[in-house]
Amino acid sequence: MNWLADYREYTECTESPRIMHLWTGIGSLVAVMRRNYCIPFGHIRMFPYVYTVLVGPPGIVQKSTTLGFSTRLLSKINGVELAPDATSPQKLIMCLEEASRNVVQADGNEVHHCLTVASSEFASIINGPDSETMITWLTDLFDREDRFAYQTKTQGSNEISNPWIQLMACTTPSSLQQCLPINTVGDGLTSRIVFVYADKKDQLISVPRAPKEALVNKLVSSLEEISTNMGLYTFSDDGLEWWDDFYRKTNEQWTPSDYRLIPYKARRHAHILKLAMVLAVSYGEKELSVRMLDKAHRIIKLTEINMHKAFGGMGENSSANHMIKIAAQLREQPMGFSDLYAKNFLDVDSEELSKVVEGLETAGVLKKKSFDGSIIYTIDKNTTSPIFSGTQDSTEIGNQAWDIITED
């Protein structure tokens, strides 16, 4: 059994980035696992809370289409509750309260409140008059083990027992920059999110094929089976030895390529553990083996390579976004000031463009060259400047990640 391998076949005839398809496939498994699966972790239980946001340029990588492959499967699964695409904090909590189901446990019955939020636009969830409340509640609900207490505007305090929520959403770097203040990046909610970035289609398909009905039925049938089962995932003996060594050495030594991801490091080990449990469910395994832990670690590492690009030029420097964009343009094609301005006049005026050019030159990235009596700006394609560091082709990343899934 390898449910994710079947999901790859299900999404193969599409132009969308494979790394995004992989994470929506992971999200599909999480949506049916809910609170039925967990890892005993000291005095707590670690449930498969996984917040995933697909990030890419508008109209290029088909983020919403990618998410739709997952939600079409989930809509066929009994017991999976999907929240409205756009919602308010109050509506979200109401949907979570209504998404109740009785779960038979070995020591008695429990009522679980489980909800999957799948939105084609992240900003429609967290941007609005109650955005601060939404960010706070999504943060507090993540990894919530027993109950969630909250305050309403009109009905006082209330609480939900055994809550569980999953988030899958799509956005662009500019939209993310507008709806999240810089002081929230890397902290609070964003440190709990796996941002999956891609900036181009993986392939061109003029006439896509619909997936075979037998394959869709197989995927749905497996999801239904996972949905009705339960799993307590403990480490195998060699898995525990591997994890102890990883936690003490490898994870501690890991350094993010971008300062905005430093707080993410504190939750990185939890992301890897949860992904290992999801992979074990995909393979039909019953414990956290070295194989599952190693696969999860390698997939996370690949995803992290371009993760910082989700935040674009988000930072204290208001010109940073322009610097990144213009540096990328000049890296592809040297230009004079007039051509550069003609290409970017919708975003910057001539004075701001002059400051950007000066900033890139000060950073040692941009070079001026004289050509036919004019000044041409150019950037060495082999530069190792931090502006271009920590990047890799998203198609290559996606292929490598799927190879990890299907290698055995």
Of 241, 301, 236, 238, nearest to 268 (Cα)? 301
What is the tens place of the pLDDT at every residue in 240-285?
999 999 999 888 788 877 777 888 888 999 999 999 999 999 999 9
Please check the confidence at residue 121 and state whether its pLDDT lies above 80.
yes
Average pLDDT for the chain: 88
Would you state the structure tokens that stand for residue 250, as one six-digit string?
């490898």
The CA distance from 15 to 23, in Å, is 16
Going by C-beta distance under 8 Å and a sequence separation of 6 or more, which residues neighbour residue 149? 157, 158, 159
How many Cβ atoms from other residues are within 10 Å of residue 196's Cβ? 29
What is the tens place of the pLDDT at every residue in 176-205?
877 776 555 555 888 899 999 998 999 999
The CA distance from 133 to 129, in Å, is 9
Of 312, 381, 344, 257, nearest to 58 (Cα)? 312
Would you state the structure tokens that stand for residue 180, as one six-digit string?
């999240």
pLDDT at 223: 98
pLDDT at 366: 84
For the chain, counts of helices (H) and of strands (E): 16, 12
DSSP code for 249: I
> Domain 320-388 maps to which CATH number in 3.30.420.10, 3.40.50.10860, 1.10.10.10, 1.20.140.90?
1.10.10.10
Please check the confidence at residue 153 and state whether its pLDDT lies above 80.
no
The CA distance from 261 to 311, in Å, is 10
pLDDT at 325: 76
100 exposure class (CB count in 10 Å sphere: 0-12, 13-18, 19+): middle
Domain ranges (residues) in the chain: 3-306+393-406, 320-388
pLDDT at 340: 92
Cα–Cα distance list, 256 to 131, 196, 204, 266, 306 (Å): 28, 15, 33, 11, 11
For residue 31, name the pLDDT band (cuts at 50, 70, 90): very high
Please check the confidence at residue 312 and state whether its pLDDT lies above 80.
no
pLDDT at 75: 96
Q: Which residue has the higher pLDDT, 224 or 152?
A: 224
Cα–Cα distance list, 220 to 3, 6, 122, 152, 229 (Å): 10, 11, 26, 38, 14
Please check the confidence at residue 391 and state whether its pLDDT lies above 90.
no
pLDDT above 90 as % of the chain: 56
For residue 1, name the pLDDT band (cuts at 50, 70, 90): confident
> Side-chain half-sphere of 362: how many Cα atoms within 13 Å?
7
When pLDDT is averaged across residues 378-393 and rounded to a whole number, the result is 65
pLDDT at 320: 66
Question: Which of 271-275, 320-324, 347-351 shows the lowest mean pLDDT across its residues?
Answer: 320-324
The CA distance from 126 to 135, in Å, is 6
What is the tens place of the pLDDT at every residue in 220-234?
999 999 999 999 999
213 exposure class (CB count in 10 Å sphere: 0-12, 13-18, 19+): exposed
pLDDT at 383: 62
Please check the confidence at residue 114 and state whether its pLDDT lies above 90.
yes
Q: Which residue has the higher pLDDT, 84 or 152?
A: 84
Please check the confidence at residue 154 and state whether its pLDDT lies above 80.
no
Q: Which residue has the higher pLDDT, 312 or 379?
A: 379
Where does 3-306+393-406 sit in CATH, by number?
Answer: 3.40.50
The CA distance from 159 to 149, in Å, is 4
For residue 379, name the pLDDT band (cuts at 50, 70, 90): confident
pLDDT at 274: 98
